[in-house]
Amino acid sequence: MVYKYKKIPLVYDLPLTKSEKQGVALFNRAFQESEIQLEADGTTLTVLLREVDIERLREEGRRLAIYSQRALFQDVIKAVERIRSYGVRNHKRYYVDYDKERKVKRRKTKAQRRQRYYYAEGHHFSRLNRPFPRAYENAIVCGDSLEVLKRLPDNCVDLVLTSPPYNFGLDYEEDDDTRHWEKYFEKLFGIFDETIRVLKWGGRVVVNIQPLFSDYIPSHHIISNFFMSRKLIWKGEILWEKNNYNCKYTAWGSWKSPSSPYLKYTWEFLEIYAKGTLKKEGRPEDIDIRAEEFKEWVVARWAIAPERNMRQYGHPAMFPEHLVERVLKLFSYRNDVILDPFNGAGTTTAVAKRLGRRYLGIDISEEYCRIARERTEKAAFQPKLPEGNVSYGAKWI
Ligand SMILES: C[S@@+](CC[C@H](N)C(=O)[O-])C[C@H]1O[C@@H](n2cnc3c(N)ncnc32)[C@H](O)[C@@H]1O
C-alpha cells in the first residue's frame, strides 16, 4: 500500500548522528506506515504524516529522547502539534488526514464569495450592552414570559438556555401542552422575539427541542428558520443522544413494508444562535472549562441520559444537570447572566448558580417556581469541580 503523506521537512546544520539514525529506525518500527514515519537524509529529517494519536507520539518522543542530544524527537512532536488540524477518535486526540480538505485552493476568497451567514446581514442590533437590572438578578419569577421579559431592557442577557414546551401533550401544572401548531409557534415566537431583544450583542440562544415526528412537524427546522429570519447567526447544532429506545417501533401495518416505515429517534437537538457576532467577549479569568472538557464537548454529539429525578421534582420534562453544565461552560463565562424563560423545576438556574453565573428563571407555574426556588437556593457555588467527576444528576452512557 502506498500512502499519501503530509511531508514536513526539519532541516538541521549538521547531519543526523549514528545514534539519531538508530532512534529514527526505532521510531519507524513503533508506528505503522499508515500513521507516521520519519525519513533521514543528510541534514534533513522529514516527517511523513498521515494520522497519529498525539499522546502516543509524545510517549514515543519521550522514550527515544536519549538517542538525540539536540532533541530531534521533540522537534517532530512540535511539528505535528503546530498543524492544529485535529479530530478525536476513541476519546483520543488525533491528527487526521485532512489533506484532501486542504486541496481547496483560495479557501478564504471563496468563502467571501459565498458570503457566510448571508441571511443575518442587514440587521439593526445595537452593540450597546446594558447592565442587568438588580431587581431581576438571581431571581425566579412566576408569570408568562411574554409579559415578564417586557420588563427587561434591551441587550442585558449573555446567554439564553431553554427548553420550551414541545406541544406533545405532556401534563404540565398550568397547561395540557396541546395547541394547533400554528398557535403554538405564534406564542413561542412572541417569547423568542423578546429573548432576542434582551440578548446582548454577542449573546447566544440555545434552544433544546425535539421535533414531533409523529405529527411530521420538524420543530427544530421551523425554529431555526425563525431565528434566521430575525437575523441571528445559526452557530450550530448539538445532537443530544438520550439513547431512549422505548419509542414505538412501527406505525400500524407498516412492519417490514415500504408503505410507511416509522423512523425512530433516540435523540433531541440543541440549536444555537448568536446575536450580531459569533465571538463572545469575556475575561480570560472567567473561563472555567477545562482542556479535556473542551476537547470532548466541541464534538457536537453528546451522549447524556435523560434526567432520572423528574418524579422527585414533580416535573415531566427536565434537563439533566450535566447537559446544562456543558452548555454553560462551553458558551458562557463566569458571572454572565443566564436566562431561562421556560425554567420549569429550575435546572438551568440551579446549575448557573453552582457555576458562578448570574441567572433569571421564568415559569408560568407557581408550583414549578416554588420547586425551582428551593432547588436553586440549595445549590452551592462550586467553581472547581473534582477532576474526572463531571457528571451530576445524569448518568453517563
Ligand atoms: C420543557 S419544560 C422546561 C423544563 C426545564 N428545562 C427543567 O429543567 O425543569 C417547559 C416549561 O415551560 C413552562 N411554560 C409554558 N408556557 C410558558 C409561558 N408562557 N411562560 C413561562 N413559562 C411557560 C411550563 O410550565 C414548563 O415548566
Query: Does the Cβ of 144 fall within 6 Å of ligand 1?
Result: yes
Query: Does the Cβ of 315 fall within 6 Å of ligand 1?
Result: yes
Distance 145 CA to ligand 1 centre (A): 9
Nearest to 64 by CA among 30, 18, 92: 30
Degrees to nearest 5, angle at CA 23 with 18 and 26: 130
Higher per-residue pLDDT: 207 or 264: 207
Contacts for 27 with CB less than 8 Å, ≥ 6 apart: 37, 38, 60, 64, 73, 76
Which residue is closest in CA terms to ligand 1's atom 16? Answer: 364
**Residue among 323, 364, 392 to mutate when testing ligand 1 (max atoms within 8 A of CB):** 364
Q: Which three cell numbers stand for residue 310?
A: 423528574
- % of the chain surpassing 70 pLDDT: 86
What is the band of 311 on the pLDDT scale with cuts at 50, 70, 90?
confident
The three-state secondary structure class of 144 is: coil
Distance 193 CA to ligand 1 centre (A): 17
Q: Would you call 370 exposed, middle or buried from its count of C-beta atoms within 10 A (0-12, 13-18, 19+)?
A: middle
Cα 249 to Cα 265: distance, rounded to the nearest angstrom: 10
Query: Does the Cβ of 323 fall within 6 Å of ligand 1?
Result: no
Q: Which atom of ligand 1 is nearest to the CA of 144?
A: 20
pLDDT digits over 152-181, tens only?
A: 999 999 999 999 998 766 666 666 667 788
Domain residues of the chain, as ranges?
6-102, 120-378
Degrees to nearest 5, angle at CA 40 with 34 and 44: 115
Query: Does the Cβ of 318 fall within 6 Å of ligand 1?
Result: yes
Which of 110-114, 149-153, 180-184, 348-352 is predicted least confidently?
Answer: 110-114
pLDDT digits over 19-42, tens only?
A: 999 999 999 999 999 889 999 999
Q: Look up the pTM and report it.
A: 0.75
pLDDT digits over 78-103, tens only?
A: 988 887 666 666 655 666 654 444 55
339 neighbors 349 (Cβ within 8 angstroms): no
Fold of the CATH domain 120-378: Rossmann fold (3.40.50)
Query: Does the Cβ of 347 fall within 6 Å of ligand 1?
Result: yes
What is the band of 260 on the pLDDT scale with cuts at 50, 70, 90?
confident
pLDDT at position 397 is: 26
Q: Which residue spans within 79-185 are E strands per DSSP?
A: 86-89, 92-95, 139-142, 157-162
